[in-house]
Amino acid sequence: MKSLLISLALAMTVAMATVPAAHAQSAGVKIAVVDVRAVFEQLPQSREIAETIEMEFKERAERLREMETSMTEQQERLQRDEAIMSEEEIQQAALQLQQQFQEYQERREALSEQLNRRRNEERNRVLGQIQQVVNDIADSEDFDLVIEAGNVAFAKSSLNITNRVIERMTRD
């Protein structure tokens, strides 16, 4: 009995949710669809941002690569010279290598966090610009509703304003 009531309630909810959408189209509501991901990926600003961020972090990434090379060389030297080293020298070299590896991991994690934070800042800035252009197009073309394409199962291509957003952002 309980499951029947739940099923009925669910069916009524789905039916009520679809009625306004169908009614909106018949009432002359103007709807558009935009693929924000496609806009972001096709913008020249996205490539410029990636290059700028790469340059910002290039020196630190190079230092990490140098640390990797140094640790590899130390490990190879330790393995090669282990037979002629005293037990104390082996322990000292192993401890030094372990400390260097810990420092490397800490630096790598810090770099990764800062790189991700920086990427997110720039991505959010561009997404804000995209949103502004979508709003401008919606206002100028009198759209009542603009839906993200990733959330739509189907939409006629005539409803898609993605290329217009790209053109406007590229032009500005």
Q: What is the pTM of this model?
A: 0.68
Which letter does DSSP use for residue 146 in this model? E
Domains identified in the chain and CATH numbers: 2-171 (3.30.910.20)
One digit per residue, the tens of pLDDT, for the chain of length 172 reads: 444 334 333 333 444 444 444 444 446 899 999 999 999 999 998 999 999 999 999 999 999 999 999 999 999 999 999 889 899 999 999 999 999 999 999 999 999 999 999 999 999 999 999 999 999 999 999 999 999 999 999 999 999 999 999 999 998 7
Which letter does DSSP use for residue 156 in this model? -
DSSP the chain: -HHHHHHHHHHHHHHHHHHHHHHHHHTT--EEEE-HHHHHHH-HHHHHHHHHHHHHHHHHHHHHHHHHHHHHHHHHHHHHHGGGS-HHHHHHHHHHHHHHHHHHHHHHHHHHHHHHHHHHHHHHHHHHHHHHHHHHHHHHTT-SEEEEGGG-S---GGGB-HHHHHHHHHH-
